A and B are shown apart, each in its own frame.
Chain A
Amino acid sequence: MNYSLFITGSPTASRACHTALDFAEALLSDGAHQIHGVFFYEEAVAIANALAMPPRDECNIRNEWVAFAKQHSVPLYICIAAALRRGELNEAEAKRHEVANHNLAEGFLLEGLGSLISLTSESDRMMRFK
């Protein structure tokens, strides 16, 4: 079955991103399912902040998601409007808004909500993590 994941919970104030990764790993463990894409919205977009530095003895959920996505070729989409509202920009958006810095971590793609619509229509199941 073809799944997509929709994550809205904060990576620090909730366990949504962690639980979603557990689910994603379990889903792909036996080869019976695929993940079409992962869309981060609302507070979950904070996962793509390259400047967030959890203590070294704690889980770095951003890096774990990026490693998982790279291993399984799963795209990680960050809602562009939600990200900009919360101070997350890639280089192109930093230029567009005329600010000196950008902080979107490598491995994440800034996309509009249209990408979520596409994931919804192209997947058998959309799993929500809040």
Chain B
Amino acid sequence: MSTLIYLSSSPYSSTTIKEALDLALVFGTFGQDIRLAVTGEALALLIDNQTPNARQGKHLHKLLDGLEFYDIEQIYIKQDEIPAATSLWSGVTALDSEEWLNMLNQHQYIYRF
């Protein structure tokens, strides 16, 4: 059973992305085949050199390096959404539009946040 956690909300405007990542980690803990897709406003999660304070929200970017310990090794982004002048976390796989659609079709369950 492959499950995709599809992130499109801003990581700082609510607790949505935090709770989505919590779900992803629990899927990983239970040994499920779990992958992430990051698009739209959620891309802010991947931007390097973030320094949010406690009031702005939990430093979710720091969680990314720990995903591999939960066997979450596929984090997909859209090729055409890669920002030109901004450094993104390096562990992502960039897909073109056709690959993105194929990727979506490969998952039995998709949870959108």
Contact = CB atoms under 8 A, between A and B. Distances in A.
Interface of A: 6, 8, 41-42, 81-82, 85, 112-114, 116-117, 120-121, 126, 128, 130
Nearest to B23: A113
A114 B22 CA distance: 11
Interface of A (DSSP majority class): helix
Contacts of B112: 128, 130
A60 B80 CA distance: 46
26 contacts: A6-B111, A8-B113, A41-B19, A41-B23, A42-B16, A42-B19, A81-B22, A85-B15, A112-B26, A113-B22, A113-B23, A113-B26, A114-B30, A116-B23, A117-B26, A117-B27, A117-B30, A120-B1, A120-B3, A120-B109, A121-B1, A121-B32, A126-B109, A128-B111, A128-B112, A130-B112
Given A6-B111, A114-B30, A116-B26, 12 more contacts: A8-B113, A41-B23, A113-B22, A113-B23, A113-B26, A114-B29, A117-B26, A117-B30, A120-B109, A121-B1, A121-B32, A128-B112
Interface of B: 1, 3, 15-16, 19, 22-23, 26-27, 29-30, 32, 109, 111-113
Contacts of A128: 111-112
User: Among A8, A41, A81, A117, which residue has the most Cβ atoms of chain B within 10 A?
Assistant: A117
User: Among A41, A112, A113, A128, which residue has the most Cβ atoms of chain B within 10 A?
Assistant: A113
Given A120-B3, A130-B112, A114 B19 contact: no
B60 to A, nearest CB: 15
A124 B16 CA distance: 26
Nearest to A112: B26
Nearest to B16: A42
